[in-house]
Structure 1
Amino acid sequence: MRTTFDFAPYRRSTVGFDRLFDLLETEMRGEGGDGYPAFDIAAEGEDRYQITLAVPGYTSSDIAVVARQNQLTVTGKRPEGTDQSRYLHQGILIRPFERHFQLADFIQVEGAKLQDGLLGIVLKRVVPDAMKPRRIEIGVGPSGQEQIEDLSEDRSAAA
């Protein structure tokens, strides 16, 4: 099975997306981290998304969610000596982590909620009115009307 993808044709036909292709290639090479904690990204509508991270054993005071420009950073660290249990087997990973997500333009974090070991972060695309597409009416100016009239006069004279 092929595990690499050549982005060269796309790089040639796009301008300004170098950072995006670099991120994709980094993730495909496995340099994007160790995969902890596991997460899902779901589209919940045309302009709404949710990132869900599996963070069992963490409380809301152990986790920090920071949105800065186009990057979302989720950091988790448990205070030292909080767990006094003696484990015979500990299969649930509870270790410090830092997970980064690159956000597209106009994506804003609406909120975060921790429930049953899952951290849900709600995102929404909010495009400013100045950036939304708008329909431009096509008008006919005086010079355009003259050209149309001239063409119709030429046809009647030719007939």
Structure 2
Amino acid sequence: MTTRVFTSPLFLGFDHLEQMIERAAKNSSDGYPPYNIEQLSPVSLRITLAVAGFTMDDLQITLEDNQLVIRGRQTDEGHGRVFLHRGIAARQFQRAFVIAEGIEVKGAWLDNGLLHVDLVRPVPQPVVKTIPIVRGQGKVPAPTRTVDGD
């Protein structure tokens, strides 16, 4: 089901935002693995996933079209072990987070069954563009860019 958010003709070029919202709605249905999102500072975030039983080799993190995708796949090799009861399943997962343009993944680490992924949102510099007005249907000159405050 498609939900149109930016229906006003004044919102130009926001189609990609609607697609991101739809992707996020699809990805939010499964609750495994559980996760936290922390704001560490005004420009940094941390996603923490509970991935007990997974090793670094079992986990993969990729950035695909403004989507941070974290996959976990445990190999179900017994390594000679015989289970009398197996309550901890070797369950695979895929957890995706839609992130805004400009957000950078700074790093990830695994510690005591928790996978931490740090993100940073650089502070954008305000940009002012001057658009020249020309007479008639002549060639349109390129806009000039200046950084606000310079």
TM-score range, shorter chain: 0.5 to 0.7
- Residues 1:65 and 2:78 are matched in the alignment: no
Residue identity matched to 2:6 = R
CA displacement at 1:11 relative to structure 2: 3.3
More strand by share: 2
TM-score, normalized by length of structure 2? 0.68
CA displacement at 1:89 relative to structure 2: 5.4
CA distance in 1, matches of 2:70, 2:101: 19
Larger Rg: 1
More helix by share: 1
Describe the shift of the 1:51–1:93 C-alpha distance in structure 2 as closer, same or farther (beyond 3 A): farther
Which consecutive aligned stretches of 4+ in structure 1 deviate over 3 angstroms post-superposition? 10-15
Which residue of 129, 135, 143 maps to 2:148? 135
Match of 1:143 in 2: none
Percent identity of paired positions between Structure 1 and Structure 2: 30
Match of 1:88 in 2: 85
Match of 1:40 in 2: 36
Describe the shift of the 1:88–1:71 C-alpha distance in structure 2 as closer, same or farther (beyond 3 A): same
Residue identity matched to 1:19 = Q
Gaps of 5+ in 1: 1-6, 138-159
SS in structure 2 opposite 1:11? coil
CA distance in 1, matches of 2:48, 2:30: 17
TM-score, normalized by length of structure 1? 0.64
RMSD between aligned residues:
2.5
